[in-house]
Amino acid sequence: MCVLSRHRRSGALQSDARGGMKPQRRRPAHHPPLTRDNRTTIIFVTVCTAGRRPLLGSTEAHETLREAWQAATGWSVGRYVILPDHLHLFCAPGVEEPPPLRAWVRYWKTLASRRWPAATAQPIWQLGFWDRQLRSGESYRSKWDYVRGNPVRHGLVPRPRRGRSKASSSNSSGTTRNIEASVPANGRATPGNGMARSV
Structural domains counted in the chain: 1
Which residues form the domain of 158?
38-198
Residue 20, in any domain of the structure: no
Phi, psi of 16 (to 5 degrees): -100, 180
pLDDT of 46 strictly over 60: yes
Task: For residue 80, give the CATH number of its domain.
Answer: 3.30.70.1290
Can you tell me the distance from the alpha carbon of 147 to that of 130, in angstroms, rounded to the nearest whole number? 14
pLDDT of residue 197: 32
Tell me the whole-structure pTM to 2 decimals: 0.66
31: left (phi over 0), alpha (psi -120 to 50) or beta: beta
Residues 6+ positions from 67 with CB-CB distance below 8 Å: 111, 112, 115
pLDDT of residue 162: 57
Q: What is the mean pLDDT of the chain?
A: 73
